[in-house]
Amino acid sequence: MSTTSHLTDRQRLLARIDCITICSALRITIGGASPTDVYLFAFLSSLLFAFRGGSPDSWGYQFLATSSGRPFSEALSAVLDEMIATRQLLEGQDGLRPNPQVETSLSLIGQGDTFSERVGLIEEVCNLSAIKGVPGIGRAVTRESQLARAAALTSPRLIDPSEANRTVVELTAAALAANPDWDKAVPTFLWLSQWGASDAG
């Protein structure tokens, strides 16, 4: 089991908030979350954060591109292990879900000024699971340029958040040029469609 001792206080706090938010949101839409789901939706949330004006380097922790074509985060992995071991996240047939006390704490965090925008942004991304389906979203994300290149690697490689941000800006423009009636308010849907998630389900 990995530990959180190597994380800064800020990295640990943000990773905890993200793990709780994702597991809580996916509990509502699909019943729970796997660790792979947590990495996936946290990565998409970091892209949306940068797309909406946040510094690509200030999400709080980094992601790695793996040979499976999926994103991975050491910070999230360590925090997930800790929260499962302390039963803050409960393991069920449908995946991980926060225990009631932890879910209540998330509600309070979401009402505060400091993290409410982050929580809302992650919930927005997770809500796409009810539309696109997690398997389809996962398949689409493997076509992100850095993740696609990672398939040929023998070891994980750090994802450059600035390059990822440039990619989604270009994808959004291409998607809207081809489909001007699509909703600009849901850019993550546009990226997934451009990455080829039409077979989601």
Average pLDDT rounded to a whole number, residues 173-180: 83
Structure-derived torsion over alpha carbons of residues 196, 127, 33, 25, reported in degrees to the nearest 10: 170
Assessment of whether the complete model's pTM goes beyond 0.95: no
Query: Confidence band (pLDDT; 50, 70, 90) for 47?
Result: very high
From its phi and psi, is residue 36 left (phi > 0), alpha (psi between -120 and 50) or beta?
A: alpha
Question: Cα(173)–Cα(186) distance, rounded to whole angstroms?
Answer: 13
| Mean pLDDT, all residues of the chain | 89
Domain ranges of the chain: 9-194
Q: What is the pLDDT of residues 135-175, one digit of tens each?
A: 999 999 999 999 999 988 878 999 999 999 999 999 888 88
